[in-house]
Amino acid sequence: MNETYHSRHGAIQESEYVFIEKGLKFFLRDKKEFVSVLEIGFGTGLNALLTANLSQTDGINIVYTALETHPIPEEIWRTLNYSTEKLLFEKLHATAWNEWVTITPQFNLFKREESLQAANLGVQQFDLIYFDAFAPNKQPEMWEHTMLQKISLAMKSGAVFVTYCAKGQLKRDLKSLGLVVESLSGPPGKREMVRAIKI
C-alpha cells in the first residue's frame, strides 16, 4: 500500500497522544477501574504496549481485543525497539491468536485474525475504540459508513472512539450514527484528530 504504520513525526509520540491521552485517559477521567478496548489494526502492537503499560502503572483492569488481517512476522516484530520493556512487548506478539491470553494480571488480550468487514463485534461490548486503520485514501473500505455503524453498535453507552484521522466525511458519518463528535488538536505533524462519544 506504500503506507506507514505510524506517523513519521514519531510513532510513540503519536500513539501516546491520540490513543492514550485523548482516548484511554479521557475514558478513565471519572475513576473507572475496568476498560474493554477494541482496536482496529493490531499492527506493530504499539498501542497495545502503551495500554498494557498504563494498566500496570495505574492498576486498571483492561481487556483488549484487536483485529488484524496481516499479523507482522516474528522476524520483523523482533527488530522493533519501542521499549525497554522487551519482555512485555514480546509477549504481546508471541502469544496465540484467536483466544484470550492473560498477558499480566491487569491485561488480557484477544488478537483476532479477522477483518473488520467479516468480524461480528456484537452489541454494546466495548468502552473504548482505537480506530487505527490505514488512512482513508489508502484503504477507503475501512472507513465506510457500514463499518462505522458496526463499530458504533458495538460501543457501550458512554464509550469513546478515537482516531488520528480528521476527515470531514468521517465526522459527518459518526454524527449521523448519533455519536457526539469532537475535533481535537492533533499530535505533532497533524492539525486535528477526532474523538466521538456514544451517548
Ligand X SMILES: C[S@@+](CC[C@H](N)C(=O)[O-])C[C@H]1O[C@@H](n2cnc3c(N)ncnc32)[C@H](O)[C@@H]1O
Residues 60-89 that bind ligand X (CB under 6 A): 67-70
Compose the 101-140 pattern: x for residues touching ligand X by CB under 6 A, - for all others: --------------xxx--------------xxx------
Closer residue to ligand X (CB): 31 or 173: 173
Residues 6-65 that bind ligand X (CB under 6 A): 15, 39-41, 43-47
Is residue 92 at the binding interface for ligand X, with CB under 6 A as the rule? no
Is residue 163 at the binding interface for ligand X, with CB under 6 A as the rule? no
Closer residue to ligand X (CB): 97 or 175: 97
Give a three-class secondary structure readout of the chain: CCCCCCCCCCHHHHHHHHHHHHHHHHHHHHCCCEEEEEEECCCCCHHHHHHHHHHHHHCCEEEEEEECCCCCCHHHHCCCCCCCCHHHHHHHHHCCCCCEEEEECCEEEEEECCCCCCCCCCCCCEEEEEECCCCCCCCHHHHCHHHHHHHHHHEEEEEEEEECCCCHHHHHHHHHCCEEEEEEECCCCCCEEEEEEEC
Contact set with ligand X (CB under 6 A)? 5, 15, 39-41, 43-47, 67-70, 115-117, 132-134
